[in-house]
Amino acid sequence: MALSALKAIIVGGIFALGFGNAGAENKPNNSHGLVYRNAISENVQGNVNIHPVSYQLNGLNIAANVYTPPGYDAEHSYPAIIVAHPNGGVKEQVAGLYAQRLAAKGYVTIAADAAYQGASEGQPRNVDKPAFRIEDIRGMADFISQYDGVDSANLGLFGICGGGGYSLAAAQTDKRFKSVATLSMFNSGLVRRNGFMDSQISTIQERLTAASRARAQEAAGGEIQYSADATPTDEEIAALPFELYREGYVYYGKTHAHPNSTFRYTTSSLIDLMQSDARDQIELINQPLLMIAGDSADTLYMSQDAFALATGTSDKELFLIEGASHIQTYWKQPYVDAAMEQLTSFFGRTLATGQQ
C-alpha cells in the first residue's frame, strides 16, 4: 500500500474517533464560549451557574469563570476547588468541563486563563514560564478565598495535564490547599528539556542556545520568537510518532477548538521550562494526593514517576482509568465519569464540608 494511502487511512481513523464521539461536544455558539459537552448555555436558578470574573494578579488582569453549585446561597459555606488548565488550553475547554462537574457536587470552583495566555492579560503573548503558572494557581486561591460563600479553610486543588504538574509544585509550599488531585499529569519541564519519552536529549544544548538567543533578541526590542507555532495538515498529524500529539491536535484544533487556545509559546520560555521538573521537591507535599491517568496513555510514566517520589504523604493514590488515553480523559464520557467518581470521593473525604 502506498504511504500516502496509508496516511489517509490513519487520518480517517483518527478523525472518525474525534468527530464520531466528540463532534456533539463542541459548542462554538455557546454564549459563554464553552466548548465542552453539556456546557452551561444560560444560568438557571437551582442549577450549576457560571460567573465570568476578572481580578488583578501582579498587575495583570486575569480572566476566569467561577461555577457555583445548585441552590448556591452566599450566606452558606462551601468548599472550593481550583482547576488548573492544560498547556495551551483555556478555561472554556476541559478545565471548564471538570469545574462544572465538580460544582454539581457541591463545590464552588474556579478555572482561570493563565497570565499571558487565553483572555488574560500579559505581553508578549503566550509566555509559558513555570513560575508564572504556579503563581496563577496561587492567584486563583487568593481570589476564590474571598468569594461570597466560600470556606477559605477548605480549598482543594485539581490540575489537568500541564496544570497538574504545576499543581504539584504549588501544593508543595502553599498549605492553603488541603488536598491536591491531578488528571493526566504532564511534566512540562521534563518534556521541554528531554523531549517526549526522552526523544530529544541529544539536542538539549542546541535548544537552550536557541532559547538564549531568543531572549537576547526580545531584550533588544526585536521580534518575539515562538516555538510549537506550526499548523500541521491532517497527514502531518497522522504521521506524528506520539498518540498524545495526534489526539491533541484533533482535540485542540478541531473537536474542541477555541480561538484563545494555542500550542505556541515564546521560545525564550524554554530557559525557565528546561530547568523545571514537576518531581523536584515533591516530597514537600504532605496533603492527601490523588493522581488519575489513563492506563493506555503514553504520558502515564510521568504520573507514575511523580507518584513514587511523593513520599511526604501517606494518603495518596494513583488511579488508572482502564482503556483511556491522555486526551480521552478530557472529553470521552465514560472516562470523564470514571475520573469524576474518584474526584468526588477524594474531595468529599478531604475537604471538611464537601458534599457527595
Check pLDDT > 70 for residue 13: no
Cell numbers representing residue 343 in the block: 474526584
User: What pLDDT does 230 receive?
Assistant: 83
Q: Residues 6 or more apart from 50 whose CB is under 8 A from it?
A: 32, 34, 40, 43, 65, 66, 67, 100
Question: In a 3-state reduction of DSSP, which class is residue 30?
Answer: coil
Average confidence (pLDDT) over 173-178? 98
Q: What is the pLDDT of residues 87-98, one digit of tens each?
A: 999 999 999 999
Q: Can you point out the beta strands (E) in the chain?
A: 49-57, 60-68, 78-84, 108-112, 150-160, 177-183, 226-227, 265-266, 289-294, 316-321
Question: Distance between CA atoms of 256 and 34, rounded to whole angstroms?
Answer: 9
Query: Looking at residue 10, what is its pLDDT?
Result: 27
Q: Which residue has the higher pLDDT, 94 or 12?
A: 94
Span 285-293, average pLDDT: 98
93, 85 Cβ separation under 8 angstroms? yes
CB 99 within 8 A of CB 121: no
85 neighbors 153 (Cβ within 8 angstroms): no
Would you place residue 231 in the very low, low, confident or very high pLDDT band (cuts 50, 70, 90)? Answer: confident
Confidence of residue 25 (pLDDT cuts 50, 70, 90): low
Confidence category of residue 68, pLDDT binned at 50, 70, 90: very high
C-alpha cell at 269: 520560555
Stretch 169-194: mean pLDDT: 98
User: Does residue 63 fall inside a structural domain?
Assistant: yes
DSSP 44-108: -TTS-EEEEEEEEETTEEEEEEEEE-TT--TTS-EEEEEEEPPTT--TTTHHHHHHHHHHTTT-E
C-alpha distance across the termini of the chain, in Å: 54
Question: By percentage, how much of the chain surpasses pLDDT 70?
Answer: 91
The tally of domains found in the chain comes to 1
| Residue 269 φ then ψ, to 5° | -60, -25
pLDDT value at position 6?
A: 27
pLDDT at 26: 52
CA separation for the pair 17, 15 (Å, rounded): 5
What is the SS3 assignment for 326? coil
* Pick from 186, 180, 178: nearest CA to 167: 180
Is residue 169 included in any domain, yes or no?
yes
User: Nearest 5 degrees, angle CA 60-CA 62-CA 65?
Assistant: 175
Q: Which domain holds residue 258?
A: 3-350
Question: How does pLDDT run across 26-58, given as a tens digit for each residue?
Answer: 545 789 999 999 999 999 999 999 999 999 999
Q: Does residue 355 fall inside a structural domain? A: no
Q: Is the pLDDT of residue 154 over 90?
A: yes
pLDDT above 90: percentage of residues in the chain:
89
Q: How far apart are CA 253 and CA 259, in angstroms?
A: 9
pLDDT top residue among 194 and 8: 194
Q: Is the pLDDT of residue 12 over 80?
A: no
Torsion angles phi and psi, residue 144, rounded to 5: -70, -25
Please report whether residue 356 resides in a domain: no
225 by Cβ neighbours in 10 Å (0-12 / 13-18 / 19+) ranks as middle
**CATH number for the domain including 58?**
3.40.50.1820
Q: DSSP assignment of 259-281, as one string?
A: TT--S-EEGGGHHHHTT--TTTT
Which pLDDT does position 219 carry in this prediction?
Answer: 97
What is the mean predicted confidence (pLDDT) over 248-263? Answer: 95
Average pLDDT, integer, range 135-163? 98
Instruction: Please report whether residue 148 resides in a domain.
Output: yes
The tens digit of pLDDT for each residue in 99-142 reads: 999 999 999 999 999 999 999 999 999 999 999 999 999 999 99
Instruction: Residue 228: count other Cβ atoms within 10 Å of its Cβ.
Output: 15
Say what the pLDDT of residue 352 is: 76
Neighbours of 320 (CB within 10 A): 17
Q: What is the mean pLDDT of the chain?
A: 92
> What per-residue confidence (pLDDT) applies to 22?
38
Q: 308-344 pLDDT, tens per residue?
A: 999 999 999 999 999 999 999 999 999 999 999 999 9
Grid-cell match 507535599, residue found: 285
